[in-house]
């Protein structure tokens, strides 16, 4: 008998749904407004199809930058309202200023107001429907976890934090040892006696297996899972689920099977990809340095008032293949910040000056690193370059830490735009997971995603 599963949407499905229906909602309302009122600025017909494509393209780009496709934020209406207004404002501005492929500016300027309001109303109505219906518990993906006693709490925290619609309703403990960690009251501990009955009774959509080598599954449990697999119940290994949901590599669970599990991206050796990647590095560096020169007077004034000391500082960092180089940055800390020796930066570090805090939040302090990019020491995108003394410490505590040196370090990167700032061992492990994900999945698409997320970091002033 086949398994009857409840309706749910995976992460990729929800992101595609958001993108497609954002465009459909906006174009549909603009079509209705054009038909019902004397709205001549934007028309949808066979002779003006380019107008709709350009609008859809701008809407998708700026909605990504302003985080309308961040699933955690897409489920919170107060956050969505703010991001819709930002997205629609910038989209309309760029649309109005694009020559040739968009309508000419109307004589009646009220037409622009109608255009702006139509985009906002369409997005507000559709996103409210999404939050009310699709993000509701009825569409949660219900998951049964099979693991050992000590792994339940960290796995639960990692998976449900990444996707609010991914609901672990219960778990099966394959270890004789009892669970001592404090777990949510609604989480159910199921027996191994009849897993099929559990799956049917709890409307389980997926089974996730996370069994360490020290506590392998029994033959009885394994046979039950094979029978469920034959009935059509999806059964997945934890590290695959973790990577899909968090976009990180769970090195702490891979252990000695790391190199079998971790096939490096072919882009790392692809000559065409590396050539265009270098061209883009040089292009972004020229643009970045030009912008830096334009704001130099402001930087100098701010440094005199708020920093009082040298504008720049250099430091030894570790690059590709472990090669050392001198990195250039705008100074954001007090002079002689490490007179007592090297130390990790911390949140709300007292060594950071008031102007330095602004430089970090805006990420202006990293503009001189484009010099390193031009010299070839760094790339625009890659793992954060770290200091040799910290590399030595972290490599002794965190497995595979030096794998991040397989590619050039970057001004920005997957870890920089996703992980929180901090230098505890736990923070370093999280950033390593993101870095390894980038090395494994490296591609033009991922690079573009990082650039867009970096713009979001700058716009929302989240640099640290």
Cβ burial, residue 199 (10 Å; 0-12/13-18/19+): buried
User: Same domain for 124 and 146?
Assistant: no
Q: Is residue 1 part of a domain?
A: no
* CA distances in angstroms from 402 to 150, 214, 432, 435, listed in the order given: 28, 26, 9, 11
Could you give the CA distance from residue 198 to residue 420 in angstroms, rounded to a whole number? 38
Classify residue 256: in a domain, yes or no.
Answer: no
pLDDT tens column, 11-29: 677 888 899 999 999 999 9
pLDDT above 80 (res 40): no
The answer as to whether 2 is a domain residue is no
To which residue do tokens 């290994």 refer?
237
Q: Are 400 and 369 in contact (CB under 8 A)?
A: no
In this structure, the answer to whether residues 402 and 303 fall within a common structural domain is yes
Q: Which residue has the higher pLDDT, 46 or 201?
A: 201
Residues 310 and 372 in one domain: yes
pLDDT at 394 over 50: yes
Average pLDDT, the chain: 85
Sheet holding 206-210, edge to edge: 188-190, 166-173, 141-147, 206-210, 235-237
| pLDDT tens column, 306-354 | 888 888 989 999 999 999 999 999 988 877 656 555 556 656 666 788 8
Query: For the segment 57-114, what is each residue's pLDDT rounded down to a tens digit?
Result: 999 999 998 889 888 888 888 889 999 999 999 999 999 888 778 888 877 778 888 8
Q: Which domain holds residue 83?
A: 11-134
Q: What pLDDT score does 258 carry?
A: 61
State the average pLDDT over residues 236-262. 77
Reported residue count of the chain is: 464
Co-location of 91 and 196 in the same domain: no
Among 75, 100, 134, the domain-final residue is 134
- 261 part of a folded domain: no
Residue 3 is predicted with a pLDDT of: 47
Q: Is 251 a member of any domain?
A: no
pLDDT-derived band at 423, boundaries 50, 70, 90: low
- The number of CA neighbours under 13 Å toward the Cβ of 373 is 27
Q: Measured between alpha carbons, how far is 299 from 356 in angstroms, rounded to an integer? A: 10
Residues 315 and 421 in one domain: yes
- Among 134, 163, 197, residue at a domain's last position: 134
Of the listed ranges 5-19, 158-172, 221-235, 249-263, the least confidently predicted one is 249-263
Q: Which residue has the higher pLDDT, 255 or 62?
A: 62
292 shares a domain with 363 = yes
213 and 237 both lie in a single domain? yes
**pLDDT interval class at 2 (50, 70, 90):** very low
Task: Report yes or no on 380 lying in a domain.
Answer: yes
Tell me whether residue 259 is in a domain. no
How many domains are there within the chain? 3
Shared domain for 450 and 331, answered yes or no, is: yes
Residue 6 forms part of a structural domain: no
Question: Are residues 423 and 298 located together in one domain of the fold?
Answer: yes
Asked if 281 and 417 sit in the same domain, the reply is yes
Q: Are residues 114 and 199 in the same domain?
A: no
- Model confidence at 7: pLDDT above 70: no
> Phi then psi for 354, rounded to 5 degrees?
-65, -45
Are 197 and 292 in the same domain? no
CATH code (residue 204): 3.40.50.10700
Of 134, 157, 180, which marks where a domain is finished?
Answer: 134
């Amino acid at each position: 008998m086949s398994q009857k599963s409840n309706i749910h949407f995976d992460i990729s499905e929800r992101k595609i749904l958001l993108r497609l229906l954002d465009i459909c909602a906006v174009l549909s309302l603009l079509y209705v407004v054009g038909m019902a009122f004397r709205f001549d600025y934007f028309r949808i017909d066979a002779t003006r199809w380019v107008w709709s494509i350009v609008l859809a393209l701008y809407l998708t780009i700026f909605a990504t930058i302003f985080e309308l496709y961040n699933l955690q934020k897409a489920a919170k209406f107060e956050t969505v309202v703010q991001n819709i207004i930002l997205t629609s404002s910038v989209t309309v501005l760029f649309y109005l200023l694009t020559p040739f492929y968009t309508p000419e500016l109307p004589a009646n300027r009220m037409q622009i107001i109608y255009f702006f309001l139509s985009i906002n109303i369409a997005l507000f109505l559709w996103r409210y429907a999404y939050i009310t219906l699709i993000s509701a518990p009825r569409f949660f993906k219900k998951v049964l976890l099979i693991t050992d006693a000590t792994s339940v709490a960290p796995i639960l925290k990692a998976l449900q934090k990444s996707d609010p619609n991914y609901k672990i309703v219960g778990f099966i403990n394959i270890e004789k040892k009892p669970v001592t960690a404090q777990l949510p009251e609604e989480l159910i501990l199921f027996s191994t006696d009849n897993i099929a009955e559990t799956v049917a009774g709890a409307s389980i959509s997926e089974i996730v297996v996370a069994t360490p080598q020290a506590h392998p599954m029994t033959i009885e449990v394994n046979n039950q899972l094979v029978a469920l697999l034959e009935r059509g119940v999806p059964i997945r290994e934890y590290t695959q689920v973790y990577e899909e949901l968090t976009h990180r590599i769970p090195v702490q669970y891979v252990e000695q099977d790391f190199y079998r599990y971790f096939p490096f991206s072919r882009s790392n050796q692809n000559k065409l990809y590396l050539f265009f990647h270098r061209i883009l590095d040089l292009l972004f560096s020229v643009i970045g340095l030009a912008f830096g020169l334009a704001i130099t007077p402001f930087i100098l004034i701010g440094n005199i008032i708020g920093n009082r000391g040298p504008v720049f500082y250099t430091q030894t960092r570790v690059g590709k293949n472990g090669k050392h180089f001198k990195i250039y940055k705008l100074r954001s800390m007090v002079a002689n910040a490490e007179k007592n020796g090297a130390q990790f930066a911390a949140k709300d570090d007292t060594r950071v000056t008031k102007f330095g805090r602004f430089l970090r939040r805006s990420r202006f302090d990293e503009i001189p690193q484009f010099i390193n990019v031009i010299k070839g020491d760094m790339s625009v995108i890659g793992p954060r370059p770290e200091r040799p003394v910290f590399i030595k410490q972290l490599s002794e505590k965190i497995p595979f830490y030096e794998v991040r040196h397989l590619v050039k370090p970057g001004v920005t990167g997957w870890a920089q735009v996703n992980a929180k700032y901090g230098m505890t061992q736990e923070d370093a492990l999280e950033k390593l997971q993101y870095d390894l994900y980038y090395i494994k999945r490296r591609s033009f698409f991922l690079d573009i995603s990082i650039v867009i997320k970096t713009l979001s970091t700058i716009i929302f002033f989240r640099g640290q």
